Amino acid sequence: MRPNEVTIKGVVEIVFDKEAKEFKGKTFNEQKIVIGDSSKSQYPKKVAITLKGHAIEKLAEGQEVSLVCSIESRDYKGRWFTEVSCWNV
């Protein structure tokens, strides 16, 4: 596993529609999902993950998963944005 990768385990709560994105003249697809904490704690944790490449459309709501994701933060005009991405399921 790479230094910026983490394994996230939980239950798929929401699967959003696939979206076409364009970057440097090329079009690619992304799909967002929300993974919830399966521990049934009083304050469940959730994380939104962007699926890319071969991971798209392989997950369904209610499915228990273990995903290896990369985490990256970017600065834009003094504001920081963090993205959690998964390329393969």
Predicted confidence (pLDDT) per residue in 7-47, tens digit: 999 999 999 999 998 888 888 899 999 999 877 778 888 99
Using an 8 Å Cβ cutoff, are 2 and 47 in contact? no
Predicted confidence (pLDDT) per residue in 60-78, tens digit: 999 999 999 999 999 999 9
Predicted confidence (pLDDT) per residue in 39-68, tens digit: 777 888 899 999 988 788 889 999 999 999
Q: Write out the two tokens for 47.
A: 């994380």
Q: Residue 88: pLDDT above 90?
A: no
Where residue 71 sits, what CATH number does that domain have? 2.40.50.140
Q: Which residues contact 72 (CB under 8 A, 6 or more apart)?
A: 4, 82, 83, 85
- Give the three-class secondary structure for 82: strand
Tell me the C-alpha distance between 65 and 38, whole Å: 10
Count of helices and strands (H, E) across the chain: 0, 6
Using an 8 Å Cβ cutoff, are 12 and 60 in contact? yes
Structural domain that includes position 43: 5-86
Overall number of domains in the chain: 1
**The pTM is what?**
0.82
